[in-house]
Structure 1
Amino acid sequence: MKTVKKAELHVHLEGTTTPALVKKLAANNGAELDPSTFKSDGEFSWSDFWDFLRCYDKAAAAIQSKDDYRAVTYDYLKRCALENTIYVETFSSPDHAADAGISYTDHLEGIAAGIDDARRDFGIEGRIIVTCVRHLGPEKANSVAQKFVEYPHPYVVGFGMGGDEAQYHPKDFAPAFYKAHDAGYKTTNHAGEFGDCQSIRDTLTHLPVSRIGHGVRAIEDPNLVSELAERQIPLELCPGSNIATGLYDGYEQHPFDQLKQAGCVVTLNSDDPPFFATSIGKEYERVAAVNGYDEQIMRQITINSLKSAFCDDALKEKLIAAV
């Protein structure tokens, strides 16, 4: 699948940072890393989804400046471009930046600089979806949404939410999501990953979302699958992530193909690639191999992603033409 142009809609920027880059940034900043962040071979060390969230936060703490965000963004887009990826929407987390003392605007400017540098060097396009963190609560989400509308940036194309689905209810975050929606932005929410089908239904009922982050658990309810297919709500599917965190035993058991065959709009994404020993290129290779997809089918998955992207129509048309 190396010749197939790829696109990605669901990847957490801090979660793209490799162990080597985390160590390099920490050394540059004179920051001390918790040794439990890594296995002996240098890979990230975590045992289950909640331990992964803790490991993610420990690794993200190495990112401590605007230029660090530029470096992380550039490094990831470079790796994507080498796998023939032409577009990436990355989730940015102002809460993680704030923990390091980085302002909302500096955080975005750092990411934008990385996008500009990667476009110049590799021809790849990137855009930003600002996210709040569910388990940090609705008050923090409102604060992020307020900054989101107060400080627009040309590369910021949407608003979203990640984190632990077991915490709070989607309706608790409606004020934050509607701030973004009413300002003219599209939104997406993680649902149906470790939360069940009800998590997806509650998101569709209470939040003005245009896409669902993950949404894979919809397969447990045929009526919900039919609704998602009928409404053509894109699913940001992340098979490698779901397998690594124990939702499914392998690509053969992952319902990517079932959702596709049911008429859902499926997209393919890597989520937090170094944590899950994957990449967008590996996701394309593995999903194609297991399901017997040819290059034409994989190109259609890329087109699904581009049509579902939150960027402007002119850029979408240019990227789709390139596929």
Structure 2
Amino acid sequence: MNFNKMPKIDLHCHLDGSLRAETVLDIIKKNRLELTQSLEGIRKQLTAPLSCSSLDEYLRCFDLPIAVMQTKEDLERVSFELMEDAAMENIKYIEIRFAPQQHTKEGLTTKEIIQSVLQGMSRAEKIYDIKGNYILSCMRHLSAESAMKIVEEGKQFIGQGVVAVDLCGGEVAGFCHKFIEPMKKAREYGYRITVHAGETGIGQNVADAIELLGAERIGHGVFITNSREAYNLVKERKIPLEICPTSNIQTKAVKNYGEHPIYDFYNDEIMVTLNTDNRTVSDTTMTEECIQIEKAFHLKKEEYTDIYLNSVEAAFISEDEKQKLREYIK
């Protein structure tokens, strides 16, 4: 299959993990930041090795991009460029996530931060055949109050380019208990809910995310394999998994593409979707993710179509918008 030309959907893509190295260098020079001035050095800092020692090592690659995402102009630019990069490989719909808390170092308000990324997205939508929405990520290592602040300050943008909230960052057992109240409030306001869980060996977190937080989708979820409760919940309730194969190899969730559980999940009628996670940090694209899964499991055209349609169903959009996405795969 020529995956570059195939229609694609990416439901799990982090803005700060998907910056162009050239843009990072440009912003460093423009803003006279005391950071590395070499393109090669920037690429090295932005991209994780295929085999990290842990998720925490992988997450260190985000320090540099966050440092250059502190002005309205720069946030608008990187949002536009991610949409542009996605459109260039025929991604028809993308949900981009980012944590507004990470972009306040120069005094921007949450409102200004969200407005800036939405403006970049909107600019790209006017030029390219792509649609997008934003997911507001709350950092798990911060307080429940911090998450509640994002839920409150982002609610004015629901339906105007913001569709959901997420919990992300390093994963520890039982993290869901801390965030019951912010996620409850988010659901009341009309946010959809997706949660990073089961990325680093703790399948029970997936069950907790669904039962305690009302998660409608799970980011990663590969470790439902070690929790029968989580596995059954995901399967019976048809909770979509946002699978990111290359990222899962880098963080040592799996050893290689061939050992990734995505195809076993698919064959057991678990609702899997295929995503990039971080285009720059993982040095990947949607096309590359598709190619690797095709190679590992001899994926057939109809199987790719099934996974694409899973992404359509899982997307946080209206039925009319879903029908438009279905038309692309016919």
Q: TM-score range by the shorter chain?
A: over 0.9
> What stretches of structure 1 of length at least 5 have no aligned partner?
none
How far apart, CA to CA, are the structure 2 residues paired with 1:35 and 1:242?
30
SS of 1:129 mapped into structure 2:
strand
Q: Which residue of 2 aligns with 1:124?
A: 130
Q: Is the 8 A contact 1:148 1:180 kept in 2?
A: no
SS of 1:310 mapped into structure 2:
coil
CA deviation map 1:119-155 (0-9, x unaligned): 2222111101111100122121111112122554511
Q: Which residue of 1 aligns with 2:25?
A: 23
Matched, 1:138 2:140: no
Q: Which residue of 1 aligns with 2:100?
A: 94
Superposed displacement of residue 101, structure 1: 2.3
Q: Which residue of 1 aligns with 2:281?
A: 275
Matched, 1:85 2:87: no
How far apart, CA to CA, are the structure 2 residues paired with 1:256 and 1:189?
18
Say which is worse superposed, 252-261 or 158-167, in terms of deviation: 158-167
Which of 9, 30, 35 pairs up with 1:33? 35
CA deviation map 1:177-217 (0-9, x unaligned): 11110112210110000141111122122101110111011
Which of 166, 184, 190 pairs up with 2:190? 184
How far apart, CA to CA, are the structure 2 residues paired with 1:232 and 1:84?
27
Superposed displacement of residue 247, structure 1: 1.8
TM-score normalised by the chain length of structure 1:
0.93
Percent identity among equivalent residues? 28
Q: Which residue of 2 aligns with 1:306?
A: 312
Cα gap change, 1:64/1:41 in structure 2, threshold over 3 Å: closer, same or farther? closer
Superposed displacement of residue 168, structure 1: 6.2
SS of 1:87 mapped into structure 2:
strand
Matched, 1:12 2:14: yes
SS of 1:88 mapped into structure 2:
strand
Q: Which residue of 1 aligns with 2:164?
A: 158
Cα gap change, 1:222/1:35 in structure 2, threshold over 3 Å: closer, same or farther? farther
SS of 1:161 mapped into structure 2:
strand
Q: Which residue of 2 aligns with 1:111?
A: 117
Matched, 1:252 2:261: no
Superposed displacement of residue 106, structure 1: 1.7
Say which is worse superposed, 184-193 or 152-161, in terms of deviation: 152-161
TM-score normalised by the chain length of structure 2:
0.91
Q: Which residue of 2 aligns with 1:72?
A: 78
Cα gap change, 1:37/1:3 in structure 2, threshold over 3 Å: closer, same or farther? closer
> Which residue identity lines up with residue 62 of structure 2 in the other structure?
Y
